[in-house]
Structure 1
Amino acid sequence: MTAWSMHAGSIRLAVRVSPRGGRNAVEGLREDAAGTQHLVVRVSAAPVDGEANEAVESTVAKWLGIKPRMVEIISGETARVKLLRIDGDPVALSRKLQSLTATEVAA
């Protein structure tokens, strides 16, 4: 199962977050034991007062080359696994995600 799905005017992206990760970075796609893919995002912020969530949104936006306001956490605000809504052309965003993650899938 892919980490993202297309919707009208946006895509939904599943991410697994590592807070207090020392740096802000996207580390590629990973597949869990159930076969579900997540984009792994490491952020230096602690999960306090929404700081890590804001860092996730801005890190993913920067990685995709879009404005941070186009990325929003829609579920999992207090969990490591989150679902993001990324506003924009779903076909273009999906192509960009495929390009950026083409060789990064690991178990």
Structure 2
Amino acid sequence: MTKLNIKVVPGASRSEMSGWLGDMLKIRVSAPPENGKANAAVEALLAKKLGVPRSAVTIIAGKVAQRKVVEIQGLSLSEVMGKLKLGDKRA
């Protein structure tokens, strides 16, 4: 199990991983920040990029904030970094 600090930018022109912002992974999603749509988009995007089931990715803190903590089941931090191809460039 791995936990990641993320910053979400909802309502973006496209969904993507934008790299590191300090110790947080910045994720842009096109979904609006209403009725959990942006959160669902974040979980789906991470699951797809990591090659894990959607149920393995859960927002465990910050559900109504831009800064969130995501829990990823079944992968170590190094596996997550390798699959995201971002490297561990956290400050």
Do both share a fold (TM > 0.5)?
yes
Deviation at 1:97, TM superposition (A): 3.0
Deviation at 1:98, TM superposition (A): 3.0
Take 2:50 and 2:81, find their aligned partners in 1: how far apart are those partners?
11
**Structure 1: gaps (5+ residues):** 1-9, 32-36
**Structure 2: gaps (5+ residues):** none
Take 1:106 and 1:21, find their aligned partners in 2: how far apart are those partners?
23
State the AA in 1 paired with 2:36: G
Q: Which runs of 4+ in 1 moved over 4 A?
A: none
Counterpart for residue 86 of structure 2: 101
- 1:11-67 CA distance string (max 9 Å, x none): 111000000011111112121xxxxx1011000000110000000000111111211
Q: CA RMSD in A?
A: 1.8
Contact kept in structure 2, 1:26 and 1:63, CA below 8 Å: no
Contact kept in structure 1, 2:24 and 2:90, CA below 8 Å: no
Count the aligned residue pairs.
89
State percent identity of aligned pairs.
34
Counterpart for residue 12 of structure 1: 3
TM-score, with length taken from structure 2:
0.87
Query: Secondary structure of 1:101's match?
Result: coil
TM-score, with length taken from structure 1:
0.75
**Pair 1:52 & 2:43 matched:** no
Q: What is the correspondence of 1:18-97 to structure 2 with a 5 Å cutoff?
A: 18-31=9-22, 37-90=23-76, 94-97=77-80
